[in-house]
Structure 1
Amino acid sequence: MQNFNVRYHDGKSAIVNDATLTLMPDHWLIRFTGPNGESRTVRWEINRIVTEQGFTNLCIFRYHDFSEQTVECKEEKLPQILREKYPGTTFFKKKVSNTILKSPLTLVGFFVLLIGLLVGIYFIILPFAAEKIAARIPRSMEIKLGETLYQNVISGYKKNELLSQKVNHFAKAIDFQTTYPIRISVVNKKEINAFALPGGHIVVFDEIIKKMKTKEELAALLAHEVSHVHYQHSLKSIFRSMGGYLFISLLFSDVSAIVAMVAENSNMLLNLTYSRALETEADMNAGKIFKAQGIGMKGLVDLFKVLQTGGQEETNRLLSTHPLTDERMRNAMALAREQTDIRDQSELQNRWIELKATK
Structure 2
Amino acid sequence: MYNFSVRYHDGRLSIAHDATLTLMPDHWLIHYRDPSGELTSVRWAIPGIVTDENFSNLFIFRYGEFPQQTVECKEDNLPETLKKRYPEKVFFRRRITDIFKLNNTTIVGVALAVLMLMGLGYWFGLPWLAGAAASRFPVSTEVQMGDTMYENMIRAYDVDEGLTAVTNDFAKTIDFKTHYPIRITVVKDKEANAFALPGGRIVVFDGILRKMHTKEELAALLAHEVSHVHYRHSLRNIFRSLGGYLFLSLLLNDINGVVTVLADNSNMLANLTYSRELETEADQKAMVIFKADGLNLKGFVDLFTVLKSAHDDVESLKLLSTHPLTADRLRAAEEMVKRQGKVREDVVLEKKWEAIEDELK
TM-score by length of 2: 0.67
CA–CA distance in 1 between the matches of 2:123 and 2:342?
41
Match of 2:213, SS?
coil
User: Which residue number in structure 2 is paired with residue 350 of structure 1?
Assistant: 351
User: Which residue number in structure 1 is paired with residue 197 of structure 2?
Assistant: 197
Deviation at 1:194, TM superposition (A): 0.2
Structure 2 unaligned runs (5+)? 1-101
CA–CA distance in 2 between the matches of 1:194 and 1:205?
6
Contact 1:291–1:341 (Cα < 8 Å) also in 2: no
CA–CA distance in 2 between the matches of 1:191 and 1:182?
22
**Partner amino acid for 1:230?**
H
User: Which residue number in structure 1 is paired with residue 173 of structure 2?
Assistant: 173
User: Which residue number in structure 2 is paired with residue 134 of structure 1?
Assistant: 134
**Partner amino acid for 2:323?**
H
Q: 39, 46, 54: which one pairs with 2:105?
A: 54
Contact 2:176–2:289 (Cα < 8 Å) also in 1: yes
CA–CA distance in 2 between the matches of 1:149 and 1:161?
19
The answer on 1:298 being equivalent to 2:298 is yes
Deviations 1:101-155 (A, max 9, x none): xxxxxxxxx9xx969x94x645543222222111111111101110011111110
Equivalent positions of 1:178-327 (< 5 A) are 178-310=178-310, 311-327=312-328
CA–CA distance in 2 between the matches of 1:193 and 1:341?
31
Deviations 1:278-303 (A, max 9, x none): 00000000110001011010100110
CA–CA distance in 2 between the matches of 1:231 and 1:126?
19
User: Which residue number in structure 2 is paired with residue 329 of structure 1?
Assistant: 330
CA–CA distance in 2 between the matches of 1:123 and 1:332?
34
**Partner amino acid for 1:194?**
A
Deviation at 1:309, TM superposition (A): 2.1
- CA shift in 2, pair 1:165/1:330, >3 Å: same
CA–CA distance in 1 between the matches of 2:142 and 2:315?
31
Structure 1 unaligned runs (5+)? 1-50, 59-94, 101-109
- CA shift in 2, pair 1:121/1:299, >3 Å: farther
Q: Percent identity?
A: 53
Equivalent positions of 1:97-136 (< 5 A) are 118=119, 121-122=121-122, 124-136=124-136
CA–CA distance in 2 between the matches of 1:224 and 1:123?
29
Match of 1:211, SS?
coil
User: Which residue number in structure 2 is paired with residue 107 of structure 1?
Assistant: none
Match of 1:202, SS?
strand
Deviations 1:178-211 (A, max 9, x none): 0100000000001110000000100000010000
CA–CA distance in 2 between the matches of 1:282 and 1:233?
9
Match of 1:185, SS?
strand
RMSD over aligned CA atoms reads 2.5
- CA shift in 2, pair 1:328/1:124, >3 Å: farther
Match of 1:301, SS?
helix
TM-score by length of 1: 0.67
Deviations 1:209-268 (A, max 9, x none): 000001000000000000000000000000000112112111212112111111111111
Contact 1:298–1:333 (Cα < 8 Å) also in 2: yes
User: Which residue number in structure 2 is paired with residue 341 of structure 1?
Assistant: 342
Contact 1:146–1:201 (Cα < 8 Å) also in 2: yes
Match of 2:180, SS?
coil
**Partner amino acid for 2:130?**
A
Equivalent positions of 1:157-172 (< 5 A) are 157-172=157-172
Question: How many pairs does the alignment contain?
Answer: 258
